[in-house]
Amino acid sequence: MIVSRHSPKDFTPLKVSWRITGIYAAVGLSWIFLSSLAVWMNVPEPPGMASLLEVAKGCAFVLVTALMLLVLLRRWEKELDRRGAALAESNRELTEVNTRLSGIMRGSHDLIAAWDRNRRLTAFNPRYQAVCWNFFERDVRIGMSIEELFVHVPDRYRLFAECWDRTLAGESFVQLQSLTTDGDTAWFETSYGSLPGPDGRPAGGFHIVRDVTDRVRTEEDRRSHAEKLAKAVETLTEANSELERFAYVASHDLQEPLRTVACFAQMIERDYAQVLDDRGRQYLDLVTGGAIRMHHLINDLLAYSRTTRNEGRIEPVSAESACHSALNNLREAIDSSGAEITVGPLPDVAADSVLLIQVFQNLIGNAVKYRKEGIAPRVRVAAERQDRQWVFSVSDNGIGFDPAEQDVFELFRRLHPYSSYAGTGVGLAICKRIVSRLGGHIWVESVPGEGSSFRFTLPLAEQLQPADTLP
């Protein structure tokens, strides 16, 4: 881009005013002297006082007017010097601006071009020239019209002409345009703007073209990925819902044949116990025990399914009240084992009360169940605040285990045979599902033979939103 620049004249002092004043005074005095000399030549005797006074008046008039002219000329000379210095400074600044703009245009990866009202090219940068050659096979030059530039791509010409008419009307806007060559589509973001003339009306315009092909393709890939992900989530959600419904219905349907097995096992034991030998009674005990275990497994599976299907609300809940409710539900197991339960001060949290009771009941119940032989269980429930959440802990002095060996929160995961400790391996999976739905996470710290400490987090009660519901 070229910025207009005037070459400053050399305004060094030439004493023009002194020269003009001297010439004026010399001419005036010479005219007076020659006029007086003519008079003197016609008079045979020296001139009188009257003539001398006339000469003096003329000389005074010439000198006074010459002095006034000198003052005016000096002021004119100083003004010219000031304007000359300002013009030199302006030209210097224009030169610097021109240099900077030329550097920007040469180094820019964008396409920059300017046009006049006649749609003829007035400026462009090397990038614009290179792209025009690659796409239009035209070597651009100053003064080229848009008809010449877009002669091989009439559809591009019509689009550019429409945009240029809007620009010459004083409008500024941005357009996303595509260009396809040899089957490859490139995307360009074009900014149009007008260039005002001396009268303030648009005398031309410019456009800056940026290659956004990579950005557009990235956005298309991201949009496509988001659509695929949304469809996958929708499919998984439907599959999960179907699986939950299936588990719920299947669990109910399994209860009927299970009741039939248990009923007939009891009838066999009642009616034929006297005719069965030891092996027969052993087989009967195995059938009855299997039916009982299946009954417990189905009930736990139903509990897990209800945890997923629960549509409860999150609200301020007293964790201490929830813990005591769980202890009341476990009163028989606690009394029979002689367990000592210590509950520290527990805060209010944002949770569902029924689900929170279930978490405490499962964790405390496990602490009581997995106790050392001959040692009364000691369980401590506590809570401490960390940042914007509460960290709860349920610690015991039980048998412990190695957490690195397997994930105890996995559904149906058991560490011990059923003959040693009853259970189906669903309780901790339920705890994990509930804590996750309440916005926290759960983990365990344990050492074999030294007890376990289950910890889980819950949000503060003040973080509750007006209409929070379980996800």
Contact 111, 127 (CB under 8 A): yes
Distance CA 62, CA 164 (A): 67
92 with 117, same domain: the answer is no
When divided into structural domains, the chain yields a total of: 3
Contact 248, 305 (CB under 8 A): yes
Does the pLDDT at position 90 exceed 50? yes
Contact 58, 99 (CB under 8 A): no
Distance CA 304, CA 356 (A): 14
Distance CA 245, CA 341 (A): 38
327 with 425, same domain: the answer is yes
Does the pLDDT at position 11 exceed 50? no
Whole-number pLDDT of residue 40: 57
Whole-number pLDDT of residue 5: 40
Whole-number pLDDT of residue 88: 87
Residues sharing a CB contact under 8 Å with residue 241, sequence separation 6 or more, in sequence order: none
Domain membership of residue 217 (yes or no) is no
C-alpha distances (whole Å) from 406 to each of 37, 381, 400, 411 are 136, 25, 13, 12
User: What proportion of the chain, given as a percentage, has pLDDT over 90?
Assistant: 10
Domain membership of residue 248 (yes or no) is no
Look at residues 82, 103, 124 and tell me which one is the last residue of a structural domain. Answer: 103
Look at residues 194, 211, 228 and tell me which one is the last residue of a structural domain. Answer: 211
pLDDT tens per residue, range 48-87 = 555 665 666 667 666 767 777 777 777 877 888 888 888 8
Does the pLDDT at position 382 exceed 90? yes
Q: Domain with 366 in it: what CATH number?
A: 3.30.565.10
Average pLDDT over residues 94-114: 77
157 with 45, same domain: the answer is no
Does the pLDDT at position 395 exceed 90? yes
Whole-number pLDDT of residue 394: 94
pLDDT tens per residue, range 15-46 = 556 666 666 677 667 666 656 655 555 544 45
Higher pLDDT, 72 or 458: 458
Domain span including residue 399: 312-463
Distance CA 468, CA 453 (A): 30
